[in-house]
Amino acid sequence: NLFGSRQRMAMSLGVTDLDEIGVRITSLLELKVPEGFVAKLALLPKLLAVGRFPPRMRLGTPPCQEVVWRDKDVDIGRIPLMKCWPEDGGAYITFPMVITRDPKRGIRNVGMYRIMQTGKNTLAMHWQRHKVGAAHWREMAERGERMPVCIALGADPPSMYAASAPLPPTVDEFVFAGFLRGKPVSLAKAITCDLEVPAEADFVLEGYIDPAEALVVEGPFGDHTGFYSLADLYPQVHVTAITMRKQPIFPATIVGRPPMEDFYLGHATERIFLPLLKLTIPEIVDYHMPAEGIFHNLVFVAIKKDYPGQAYKVMNALWGQGLMSLAKVLIIVDHWVNVRDPREAWWVALNNIDPQRDARFSMGPMDVLDHSSRAFTYGSKMGLDATRKLPEEGFTREWPDVITMDDETKRKVDAMWHELGLGR
């Protein structure tokens, strides 16, 4: 339960508030080369900080290779994998950092996908078709080449979080982890495959996927939706080596009906990536994915509305943004609404919508875990425009103001609050 609350999540990333990371990202995005020698010197610390982010190779034997099992010694059963729920298809690795490399561009990817044990030295890799690791596997399969893969377990919290972050395929998660840590991640060369792994990891499982082999059954699995995700066919990993620290700690998480630990990982992503979302959709003020929506089912979005139809423009833009394309329901509200408070967001939305007028339906990709869509990973989406309607949008009635107390009364009540003995 390392990341099991907002406070733990923030502490794990070295901040007191997750929005602090967003502020750091914003400061880098807004870097402009100033005029004048003194101004340029003032910019140097930020530029030097960027140079500290890329990972560095560790010399000598790394902690993650203090103990090495190879060949006949490889036995996944010696590691404490967990069967979390009664109908799970087997024992699982639930908190991995899965390391692959783009065969075309050579760019490393670190993803977080559940992994089920299928034998003494084999695993079923559940990477969804929308994930970068799955794209690497498809490319290697087209080439007919074995795909090297490493599964790291246990590392510094920023590296573990980075594996879950929805980064573009061209961004190395270990570089992002270096940004979060404020110092580079230390890497080491794997022993049996051509990949780099976190030098400080507790365990590393090295292996390969053979494209000539048939897919294997993975699942069912009690998932973060609160329902079992059904069994399906996925590639099999052959483990060629298991390396570890002398006294390793096995990391694991249990997912299920929200909120659980993975919700707080998702909440961190929500806060950290807000500046990047604003970069492409500048009218966005804030957004929130409530626990009940399990990330991809519901997103509240507050926007600064300046023209008619802007809410629909934002919906279409969001459905074109990486994994946000999987969002099932988008609800757009005005900038003053605190979308981080779902009760306030629902109150405003339900008061502001005319369902026939304000609902928009679209078809598109759906999350693999969505069991309600009409087809696997494909179905309908709904967007609701819950903003204040403009005359240009065909609204001819008077729009009422929100009930608020006048400032003079607020000042008077604030002044006498303690005298009244309230709030003690």
Please identify every residue annotated as catalytic: 223
Phi, psi (degrees; rounded to nearest 5) at 395: -90, 115
Q: Give the whole-angstrom CA distance, residue 141 versus residue 414.
A: 68
**What letter would DSSP give residue 375?**
B
394's tokens: 């065909």
Phi, psi (degrees; rounded to nearest 5) at 214: -70, 155
Q: Give the whole-angstrom CA distance, residue 7 versus residue 102.
A: 35
Q: Using an 8 Å Cβ cutoff, are 115 and 207 in contact?
A: no
DSSP code per residue over 78-136: GS--B--STT-SS-EE-SEEEEEE-TTT--EEEE---EEE-SSSEEEE---TTSHHHHH
Q: Give the whole-angstrom CA distance, residue 57 versus residue 310.
A: 48
The residue ranges of DSSP E strands in 193-291, in sequence order, are 196-198, 203-209, 216-218, 221-222, 228-229, 232-234, 236-244, 284-288
Nearest to 166 by CA among 205, 132, 117, 128: 132
Question: CB-hemisphere CA count at 13 Å for 183?
Answer: 4
Q: Using an 8 Å Cβ cutoff, are 79 and 203 in contact?
A: yes
Q: Give the whole-angstrom CA distance, residue 196 versus residue 266.
A: 26
200's tokens: 């400080």
Q: Using an 8 Å Cβ cutoff, are 92 and 84 in contact?
A: yes
Nearest to 238 by CA among 149, 328, 336: 149
Question: CB-hemisphere CA count at 13 Å for 378?
Answer: 1
